[in-house]
Structure 1
Amino acid sequence: MAGRKPRARGGAPPGYRMRHDERWAAVTNQYGVPPPPRSALTLRLILATFGLLVCAAAAIVFALLDLPLPLILVAALLAVVAAVDLVVITRRKLHGEPG
């Protein structure tokens, strides 16, 4: 075993993965209560904006190319869903929800 580095006294070997108990202890406070979950609202805002732009552009391009109506409606419906999601995210951010 000439290639192995000696491990520090009481320390974990390189590449050691923590057990569940140790991971839990790393995320809990002094009373053993985990922090409240945080929503990734900013990421969701970016993804909803991207979805709105892409789906709205796709619906317009599909309509200009005279593609079948169901395809245009699906793209338009997804754009509406993204717009509603943007409204929900904006309201949650305005009410002070972190994320």
Structure 2
Amino acid sequence: MQENRSARARRPVEPAARPRSRTTGPPVPGSPGTGRRAGTEPRDARSPLRLRMLLSGTFLPLFAAAAVVLAVWAARSGPGDTPGSGPLTVLAAVCAVLALVAAVDPMVVSRRVRHERTRHGRGDTR
């Protein structure tokens, strides 16, 4: 009787299978984990490219102007002024980075549009 208990105790216990509630669709190569898409997004989801172009065109001059104004303000601020030159310099740098992002985004969008045109057989219309 003692041998029977020890044989059961040594048997490896397999973990219970858990349901995967959020995996849908066919496997996607390069996807982390299970290799399956999670969620309900379409397979070929894209961002609204025209809106991105509009926002980039709007915010590029605003962020560039803000960076220049804040940099000039930081350069002219004195030791006792509030806000000091430190916070103004940081804000100018943040605005400059955002202006750079707004300048690069139209290039990314136009590349994506060209890629979609050639992928769907419409050719490159420059």
TM-score (normalizing by structure 2): 0.43
User: Displacement of 1:39 after TM fit?
Assistant: 3.6
Give ranges in structure 1 of 5+ residues lacking alignment.
1-33
- 1:47 corresponds in structure 2 to 55
Of residues 92, 99, 114, the one that matches 1:94 is 114
- 1:73 corresponds in structure 2 to 93
RMSD over aligned CA atoms reads 2.5
User: Displacement of 1:94 after TM fit?
Assistant: 2.3
CA gap 1:93/1:69 in 2 versus in 1, 3 angstroms: same
Counterpart of 1:70, as a letter, is: V
User: Displacement of 1:38 after TM fit?
Assistant: 5.2
**4+ long deviations beyond 3 Å:** 36-39
Counterpart of 1:64, as a letter, is: V
Please say if 1:64 is aligned against 2:72.
yes
When the two structures are aligned, how many residues end up with a matched partner? Answer: 65
Cα distance in 1 between the residues matched to 2:46 and 2:104: 21
Counterpart of 1:89, as a letter, is: V
Cα distance in 1 between the residues matched to 2:46 and 2:101: 23
Cα distance in 2 between the residues matched to 1:82 and 1:38: 19
For the pair shown, which has the larger CA radius of gyration, 1 or 2?
A: 2
Percent identity, aligned pairs only, is 44
Cα distance in 2 between the residues matched to 1:83 and 1:50: 11
Cα distance in 2 between the residues matched to 1:77 and 1:38: 25
Partner deviation per Cα, 1:36-72 (whole Å, 9 max, x = no partner): 6554111111101212111111001111222521111
TM-score (normalizing by structure 1): 0.53
